[in-house]
Amino acid sequence: MKKLATLISAAVLSASFSTTAAAQDTMAMVVSTLNNPFFVTMKEGAEAKAQELGYKLIVLDSQNDPSKELSNIEDLTVRGVKAILINPTDSDAVSNAIRMANRSNIPVLTLDRGASRGEVVSHIASDNVAGGEMAGKYIMEKVGEKARVIQLEGIAGTSAARERGKGFMNAVKANDMDLLASQPADFDRTKGLNVMENMLAANPDVQAVFAQNDEMALGALRAVQASGKDVLIVGFDGTDDGIAAVKRGKLGATIAQQPDLIGALGVETADKMLKGEKVEASIPVPLKVITK
């Protein structure tokens, strides 16, 4: 019996050690939604880098729901992951989730979208304000000053929507463009189509559209094609579908981020931090304008 008890104790100790060792090699990534090609590519970039560096990466989908996001973080604190990479559903709402991770002493890094509050080790993203300005400049170069433009906005409350809109409005004012309308379509292709149909009906003389992501741009494209009008459309993100539409001459341009690089840099930065290396509080990812 004594020998059996010793064996059982050894087995329990071994299992406990194995669990701890596994936790040490585990990171997590919480994505706002995997129903968007941009974030799928970002996830793939993170997974590839995690595999390269020898980490297990848990990926959870928040389905654009802040309450689901909070639940995901709670789940990860129980699992005892070593670091959390989060792409917030909403820059304000994510604060509670980040604070929960902070209380569990789990370091947090934000990807693509920032957080209003909570302790974040590093934020990895493109300069969305600069990207919005690049879109406006491209429209001005193709259509001219005083161009009549429409903007399709992303999800209200996200840093990406706020910053891209700010950059675009900087360009609108600098080039004396006429902003006919600006409405949210929540970064969604179907909503982009529906909102654009209504905006076209109300603004038949529009010359150009800036959509704050490629999904909305592709939805707007369908509405414009159905109307038979000649309208320049510029998207944002540089997704595979967006770039393909540009190359076919359907979209005028897309402001290309590098979502795979954002994901990879997130894992790489977390790895450095866990090894005790100093990391930058903000890591910019280059943008470029993709045209035909």
pLDDT tens-digit series, residues 78-87 = 998 999 999 9
pLDDT digits (tens, 9 = 90+) for 105-123: 999 999 999 999 999 999 9
pLDDT at 7 over 90: no
Tokens of residue 232, six digits: 């320049």
pLDDT range class, residue 280, cuts 50, 70, 90: very high
- pLDDT band for position 6 (cuts 50, 70, 90): very low
Residue 114 near residue 123, CB atoms below 8 Å: yes
- Judge whether 95 lies within some domain: yes
DSSP state of 209: E
In a domain, 94, yes or no: yes
Residue 218 lies in a domain: yes
Q: Residue 92 in 3-state DSSP?
A: coil
Q: What's the CATH code of the domain at 105?
A: 3.40.50.2300
pTM, 2 dp: 0.79
289 occurs within a structural domain: no
Predicted pLDDT of residue 276: 97
> 237: closest CA among 136, 116, 142, 125?
125
Asked whether residue 95 falls in the same domain as residue 167, the answer is: no
Q: How far is CA 249 from CA 8, 101, 215, 232, 242, in A?
A: 68, 46, 16, 10, 11
Mark whether 13 and 97 lie in a shared domain: yes
Residues 160 and 92 in one domain: no
Taking 60 as the threshold, does the pLDDT of residue 132 lie above it?
A: yes
Q: pLDDT value at position 145?
A: 84
Is the pLDDT at 198 greater than 90? The verdict is: yes
Task: Supply the range of the domain harboring residue 26.
Answer: 2-124+260-284
147 pLDDT more than 80: yes
C-beta of residue 75 within 8 angstroms of C-beta of residue 101: no
In a domain, 194, yes or no: yes
Please indicate, yes or no, whether residues 41 and 101 belong to a single structural domain of this protein: yes
* Of the candidates 261, 264, 222, 259, the residue with the CA atom closest to the CA atom of residue 238: 259
Sequence-separated (6 or more) residues with CB below 8 Å from residue 163? 128, 129, 132
- 132 and 106 in one domain? no
If you count them, how many residues does the chain have? 292
Task: Give the pLDDT confidence score for residue 21 in this predicted structure.
Answer: 38
Q: Does residue 140 share a domain with residue 98?
A: no
Note whether 33 and 139 are same-domain residues.
no
Tell whether 242 and 133 lie within a shared domain.
Answer: yes
Q: Are residues 135 and 113 in the same domain?
A: no
Packed helices 37-53 and 240-247: angle between N→C axes, nearest 10 degrees: 120
Across all residues in the chain, what is the average pLDDT?
92
- The answer on pLDDT for 17 being more than 50 is no
Task: Tell me: do 279 and 161 sit in the same domain.
Answer: no
Res. 204: pLDDT tops 70? yes
Give me the percent of the chain exceeding a pLDDT of 90: 89
Mean pLDDT of 19-40: 81
Q: CB of 91 within 8 A of CB of 66? A: no
What the block records as the tokens of 131 is 């990207």
* Contact by Cβ (8 Å): 36, 216: no
The answer to whether residues 197 and 108 belong to one domain is no
Nearest to 211 by CA among 239, 230, 184, 171: 184
Residue 211 dihedral angles phi and psi, to the nearest 5°: -105, 130
Q: How many domains does one find in the chain?
A: 2
Residue 75 counted as domain residue: yes
Mean pLDDT along residues 122-151: 96
| Judgement on whether residues 223 and 113 belong to the same structural domain of the protein | no
CA distance readout (Å), 163 to 64, 70, 137, 154, 281: 19, 24, 16, 10, 18
| Inside any domain, residue 291 | no
